[in-house]
Structure 1
C-alpha cells in the first residue's frame, strides 16, 4: 500500500494577541497561574513540548526526542511568534530550525505556512483589510522563515471568493479548508459538476479553484472524521491507534492519495496532556512501518497536481455550521459552557467595531494625505515597522513614504496614525466573538484595541468617538452577574486602563523608589531619560522628586515631566506628575516638598501634591500590573523574614518536647506543626537554591521531616528541584566531562524521588539528550580502547539517564 499513499498532519498553532495596546507587553493574567500569562502557559504545555517530543518504550522510558514541527505541516500566528521571539527564544528558534530541516526532508518544501496576520474573519473584512491581512501575514512569514510561503492559513478557515482572489494575487499556491466548505467538484478536463455539500468531497486529493479574475489557487479539504477524532474520540490517548486511524482510509487501488488532517495545534499538549508524545509516536510509527509516506502540502502538490476543480461554499468556516455567523450574530454556536446559546451581544459588538473602523478611515486618509504619497500603501508597509521598531528602521519607513521632509511633530503624527490603523485591525481578532461572553478576556482584549484607536483619533482630529462607541456597546448584553452590558465593562475596566505619557511618567516615578533606574531606562514601550532625580529617606518613608523626558517608541511622542512620589511603607504611595513648566516652578515645588518631608509632615506633603499637580495624582493602583506584583512581593519578603525568625525560635525552643511526642507516637499539635513545617520546608528550599548544594544536609532535613511526620510543600519542592536539576544540566552542556555534575543531579533526583513530588524533567531530559547525542560516539570509542575516564563517564551517564527516566544505548565497560 505504501508507494503512493501519503499522510500529512497540519497543526494550526495560534493564540490571540494579548499585549496591552499602550505598553506592547503582555501583562500578568491571574487565570493562567502559576504562569505569568496564557502565552507562557500554553508555550510550556504545548509549543515547547512539540519542539522536543518524546518517543517512549513499553516501560515509559524515553527512547528518542524529536522536533515534531519538522515532520508535520504547521502554521503559527504572527502575533504569537512575535511574543515568542522575545519571551521564549529557544522555542522560537526550534520552530525556525524545524522549517529548515523539513525542507531537506520534503523535496525543498518547508513545513511552515503563513497565516492572515491577526486572525481576522476574512469574509467579514472590507477589501483594504483583506489586502493588509494577507500582505502582513506574508511579510511576517518571510522575515521569520527567510523564504516565501507556499500556503496560508485563513482564520477559522473562513473563506469567500474575494478572499481567495487576494491570496492568489499575492502568489499563494494553496490553502486548507474543511470538507464542509466544498460545494461542487468536477474533473479538470471538464464535465458536469457534482454536488458535494455536507462533507461529501473526497479529501484524498487537491483541487483547483478557478477564480473570476482568471487566477487559480489549490484547495485541500482535510479529512473531517479523523480531525474530529483528535478532539472528541481520544485519538491522542494512543499514538499507534492514531497512526492506524490515519492510514486506514485509503482506497485499494494504486493511485496516489493524501490522507491529511487539520486541527488546533494546542491539541498536542495543551488540550490533551501528552498529546505531543502521541503525535511523535504516530509520526515514528508511520515512518517505521512504511505503509505510507509522510509529506506536506507543498511537496504533495508538486508531485501530484490537481486533477479536479472545486467550488467553495461562500462565507463558510470550519467552526460555525452557519457559515461565518458566529462572528456577527446569535447563530447558536457556542463553546458548550453554561452561557451557551446567549450570544445576542455578537452582532452589536461587530456593529460597534464596524462603525469605529468607518469613522477612522476619513480621519486617516485626510491627515495622511498631507504626510505621505499613498496612505494605504503606507499601511500595508507598516508591518516592516511592527517587525523592527529600531530608530533607524522607523526612519527608513518614514523616508520611503513621506511627501516631503517631515518635522519631528509630523513624524510623530504619522506614527500615531499608523498605530491607530494597527489597532483598528487588531480589534477584529476573531477570538473576541468565539466564546460565550462579551465581557470575557478575549472580547475585552479586542475592545482594548478599539479604545487605543479611539484615543489616538480624538487626540489627532479632536473628534469625540468614545460616547457613540460606548452607546453601541450598550446594545451588547452580558451574560455575567458583574456587568449588564459591554458598555459597563468598558467604563469599569477599559477606560481606567487607558495610558498616556503622564501615566507612564507616574509609573516611572513610583517604580523608581523600588528600582535603581539608570539615567536612560526602558519602561515597556517607552524610553525614559532622567534629567533630575533626588531621593530622601526617613525610616520607612521615602520621597522622590525629579524631572524626566519620556519618548514613546511606537508613536515617537515626547514629553518632559516633573514628578514627586511619597512612599509611607508597604503599598501606601502618593504621587504627582505634570508637564515640566520651568526651572523656577520646579524648584519651588522641590524645596517645599523637601522641607515638609524633613519635618515629617506627611499631611503637608499631600497638600503640596494637590497644589502643584492638581488632578494628575497617582497611587500604587496606577502602576502597571507586573510592577504592582513586584512591589507586593518586596513588601511580603520583609514579612516572610520576620515570620521565619519567629518560627525558627518556636522550632528551637520546642524541639525537646517534639522528640518526646515522636517517641510516644503522639500527634504534634497544629500550633507547633505549622511553624515546624515552615522551618523545614524553608531549609529544603534554601539548600536547593544554594550556590553549592549540600546533599548530606538535605538528606538530614528529609529524615527530620519523616521523623516528625510533617508535610512537605510539594509545589515548592517540585519547582526548586526542577530548577536546580535544569541548572546542573545546563552546566553539563558547557562542561560535558564533569562527572561531578552528573553525580549531583542523579543523587538529587533519587533523593527527591523518594518523596511524592512529581517532577517535570522535560528540559533536563532535553539537555541530557543533547549531551549524549554530541559525545556518545567519541566516549564509547575511547571506552572500548580501555580509557578509564571514558568508561567512568559512561557509567555515570547511564545512572543519570536512569534517574531522568531515559533509555539510551550504552557501551557497558568493565567496572572501574
Structure 2
C-alpha cells in the first residue's frame, strides 16, 4: 500500500505589540535582536523559506523552501507583524502555499489558526465563534482562499469547539494521540478504547458532533516528541529513518505518517533544524521512500472509514488537560522549583469578571448604535485588516442602525477595540510560564488595561478600580512584587499612552530630529499647525501647536507644547 508523509509546523509567537502603540518595543531578553519576533524570524522563519541542502562534502546542492513541502500554520497576529516588519519572509510564506497547491492536487500547505491563540475550552461560546471567524477571515485575506483546516491553540479541545469549527466550514483539525478516547469502524456498534495514546495515527477519523455536524480529526504520531526534544533533526537521514520505522506492513490501507510540532523547532529551538528538515524531504523524494502530502490532499484521496470520540478539555502540552491555563496543576517551565503557579486561577477569574462586564456594557451602548453588536464584532476583523477611512465607512454602513455622526463612529470603534483587547487578554502564553510578573502575563494584563481605557467615559464608572482590587489575589512568587495590583500599578499603568503623551513624545524628540508637517508617531498622526525651534550649543527650545489623531480609533485633540533642553541631560516641558 502507498505510504505518505506529512510534517506539520505550528509557527507562532504571542502578540507582543504595546497595546497603546501597536508596535513591538525593545525586548532586552532577545539580544542581540530588537525583539523576540525579530530573533525567531532570523533563526527560523526566514531560514525555512530558503533552507540549504548540503552534499557529502558540505557544499550547497540546493536552496529550497520547506514551507512548500510541509503542512503549516502561522498565527494571524504573527503574520500581521511579519507583513510590516519582514515582508520578504511574509511573501515567501504566501508563495509557498500557492506552490503547494500546484503540487498537492489543489490543496494548500497552510492551515488557519484560532485568532489570538486563546484556550478554546476555557472561552465563552461567543468568544469561540469570534476566534474562528477572525482566524478564517484573516487567512482568506492573506492566502486568498478558504482554509480547509484550522489549528487549535495548544490543541486544546472540547466538543463545542469542534462543532463551531464545523459550523464555519472547517473540514479538519489536528490533535495529539492521547486526546482520542475510542474509535470504531463505520457501521460497527462496538468501540475500541485507546488508552495511553494508542490510537493508530496513520489514517483520518470522523468525529460526529452533538449538533449532527461532522469534522475530520488527525492524531499525530508520538515521534513528534522525539523531533521536538531528542535532536532527531541533527541528521536528515536519521530523521527519515525514524519516520520510516513507523510504517507497518500489517496495515492494509494507505498509511499517513504525520507529526506536528512547534514550527520553531526547525531553526530556533534546534539550530539548523531547518536544514535537517530540508535534508529529510530531499532524501524521501530522491529515494522514492514515500509520497509527501498535506492533510487536505490526503483527506480528499482517503476519507475516513472510522469514527472517533475525544477526551474533552485536553491539550498537547498539559498532562492535566487544560489546567495549565487555569490552576497550579504542576506544569511549568522549570525555572525555580520553589515557585508555584497559584496565580493562574485568580488571574483568569479576574479577566473573566472584566470580560463579562465589558460585554454587558458593549451590548448596552453598542445596542443603541449597531443592528447587532456581536455580529459587528465578528465582522470587525475586516477593519482590523484595512483601517482606511473608506473601509471604516463601509463597515459602519453595514452595521449601524442609522447614519452615524463622527463622534458616534469614534464611540463604535472604541467599543469594538475594547472587545478586541478583551480577546487579546486571553492569549495563552499569559498562563504558560512560571511567574505572573513575566513579560507574557504582564502583556495580557496590559490588554485588559487598554480595554478599560478604551471604555472610559463609555462604560460604567468604577470598573477599573474594581478590577485592580481583584488583582490583589493574583499573588507573585517574588516578595518585592507582591501581587497583581502592584504589577498593574508599576508595570502596566506607566506604559499607558494617551494623546497628551503622544504629543510629549513628538515634542521632545523634535529637539533631535526633523519631522514632516504630517508625521507618523507609532499608530498616531501628528499634524503640525505651528512650530518654532531655537537652539544654541547649550540649550534648545521648541514650542508648537499640533493636531494628534489616533489611526485606530479616530480620536483627536489639538494641543500646544513647550519643551526645552539644557545641556545634555536636563529636559523640561509640558503639553
In structure 1, the residue corresponding to 2:574 is in which secondary structure? strand
* Alpha-carbon offset, residue 10 of structure 1: 0.2
Contact 2:358 2:459 in 1 (8 A): no
Asked if 1:500 is matched to 2:498, the reply is yes
Tell whether 2:239 aligns with 1:242: yes
Residue 330 of structure 1 pairs with residue 331 of structure 2: no
1:63-212 matches, cutoff 5 A: 63-212=61-210
Task: State the shift of 1:458 in Å.
Answer: 2.5
More strand by share: 2
- What residue in structure 2 maps to residue 386 of structure 1? 384
Structure 1 segment 555-634 matched on structure 2, within 5 A:
555-577=553-575
User: Which residue in 1 is equivalent to 2:48?
Assistant: 50
**Matching of residues 250-289 of structure 1 within 5 Å:** 250-253=247-250, 254-289=252-287
Question: 1:181 touches 1:197 (CA, 8 Å); kept in 2?
Answer: no
1:432-451 alignment to 2 at 5 Å? 432-451=430-449
C-alpha displacement of 1:575: 1.6
Which has the higher Rg, Structure 1 or Structure 2?
1
Segments of structure 1 that go 5 or more residues without pairing to the other structure are 578-816
Question: Is the CA contact (8 Å cut-off) linking 1:7 and 1:247 kept in structure 2?
Answer: no
Deviations 1:507-565 (A, max 9, x none): 11111111211111111111111011001112231110010001111111011001001
Q: Secondary structure at the match of 2:181?
A: strand
Q: How many residues align?
A: 574
- Off by >6 Å, runs of 4+ in structure 1: none
Specify the alignment match of 1:473 in structure 2: 471
Normalized against structure 2, the TM-score is what? 0.98
> Among residues 215, 225, 229, which one is paired with 1:228 in the alignment?
225
Task: Compute the displacement of 1:16 (Å).
Answer: 0.4
Structure 1 residues 362 and 101: alpha-carbon distance in aligned structure 2, compared to 1, 3 A threshold: same
* Greater length-normalized contact order (CA 8 Å, ≥ 6 residues apart): 2
Provide the C-alpha distance between the structure 2 equivalents of 1:523 and 1:239, rounded to a whole number of angstroms.
Answer: 47
- 8 Å Cα contact 1:332-1:341 kept in structure 2: no
Q: How does 1:597-746 map to 2 (within 5 A)?
A: none
Matched residue of 2:274: which SS?
Answer: helix
Check if 1:524 corresponds to 2:522.
yes
Residue-by-residue CA offset, 1:271-297 (whole Å, 9 max, x unaligned): 000000000000101111112111100
CA distance in structure 1 between the aligned counterparts of 2:568 and 2:232, rounded to whole angstroms = 52
CA distance in 2, matches of 1:480, 1:230: 35
Separation in 2 of the partners of 1:511 and 1:341?
Answer: 42
Report the CA distance between 1:460 and its aligned residue. Answer: 1.7
TM-score with structure 1 length normalisation? 0.70
Structure 2 residue matching 1:378: 3-state secondary structure = helix
CA contact (8 A) 1:458 1:464 kept: no
Q: 8 Å contact 2:170–2:215 — kept in the other structure? A: yes
- Give the match's secondary structure for 1:245: helix
Q: For residues 312-350 of structure 1, give each alpha carbon's deviation from its aligned partner in whole angstroms, at most 9, with x where no partner exists.
A: 101110001111111011111111222576110000110
- What are the superposed Cα offsets for residues 131-177 of structure 1, whole Å, 9 maximum, x if unpaired? 00000000000000000000000000000000001000000000000
Paired position in structure 2 for 1:602: none
* 8 Å CA contact retained: 1:357, 1:424: yes
Contact 1:132 1:379 in 2 (8 A): yes
- Per the TM alignment, residue 459 of structure 1 is displaced from its structure 2 partner at its CA by 2.8
Cα distance in structure 1, aligned partners of 2:361 and 2:520: 32
